[in-house]
Amino acid sequence: MIRILTLDIKQFLLLIVFLLALPLSTLSAETSTNNDLVMTEIIFEEVEPGLEPFKSRLLLSKKMLRLDDDDDQGDYILYDREAHEIHSFNHEDKSHLMMKPLPVEVLDFEIDFKVESKPLTDAPKVNAVVPVQHQFFADKKLCKKSLNVKGLLPDLTQVLIDYEQVIVEQSKQTLWQIPADVRSSCYMSNNYLYASDYLKVGFPLFVTDDLGRQKKLLSFRQIKKDRSIMQQPVGYNLYYPNASNLPK
């Protein structure tokens, strides 16, 4: 059974409404200096079975998306919005893992995929839009559940869809290594066939899946940071996840 987030939806939405009322455009009107870069910061709280809740962060600039654990000095991932490349950096072993965008490969795996949507008309509106609860089913099994707001943070939402697509095509390269008993309808739906459908219906305020993994929006704002946070570290060893990424 899928686990549902234990939070008061109305109180949660009121918090999001409050966040939207803050002056997000103050920094965007300012010109970036040589060392500073204006970006949007989004903080989530994530829960995985057996682990304490932890924070994750997205930093979005005009050219890059950075994913990390809310730590400027920790390991991080950069997604190049123009080249559609993913670069993952590990400081301990000084490694740089690079994933290139790959052509879309059609999988020979069919499932009965359905989405049930329910507008929360009695809940507070977010950005003047009624939040919608979505349930994603594969072969009649509930695989994922999300609460979304259409039109909220549209630029970030599209970037996340693009990022997910790169991950999906990379994962297809090693799908044959996944045991057949693991490739359930939900596994294939969530990770391959419909991996980004929870984003296509609007920005997710929270999402949870059949494995008990949960993600909840905590905050978002515009900030200024040194532009080096969106750059690749020097002197790291470059690796590729599979042969499809090797230079030709």
Every domain of the chain and the residues it spans? 9-100+111-230
**At 30, is the pLDDT very low, low, confident or very high (cuts 50, 70, 90)?**
very low
Phi, psi angles (nearest 5°) of residue 114: -140, 150
Are 194 and 113 in contact by the 8 Å Cβ rule? The answer is: yes
- Give the model confidence (pLDDT) of 144-190 as tens digits: 999 999 999 999 999 999 999 999 999 999 999 999 999 999 999 99
User: Nearest-CA neighbor of 109 among 183, 8, 201?
Assistant: 183
Q: What is the pLDDT of residue 45?
A: 96
Q: 127-154, pLDDT tens digit by residue?
A: 889 999 999 999 999 999 999 999 999 9
Question: What's the Rg (C-alpha) of the chain?
Answer: 19
The mean predicted confidence, pLDDT, of the chain is: 91
C-alpha separations of 225 from 92, 230, 239 in Å = 23, 9, 28
Q: What is the DSSP letter of 129?
A: B
% of the chain beyond a pLDDT of 70? 92
pLDDT at 169: 97
> Would you state the pLDDT for residue 24?
52
pTM attached to this predicted model: 0.91
The bridge status of strand 64-68 relative to strand 76-80 is antiparallel
What are phi and psi for residue 6, nearest 5 degrees?
-95, 85
Q: What pairs with residue 144 in β-bridges?
A: 136, 209
For residue 28, pLDDT beyond 70:
no
- Of the candidates 50, 61, 51, the residue with the CA atom closest to the CA atom of residue 27: 61
* φ, ψ of residue 165 in degrees (nearest 5): -65, -40
Q: How far apart are the C-alpha atoms of 60 and 81, rounded to whole Å?
A: 10
Half-sphere exposure of 229 (CA within 13 A, CB side): 26
Is it true that domain 9-100+111-230 has CATH number 3.30.1240?
A: no
pLDDT (mean) for 83-112: 96
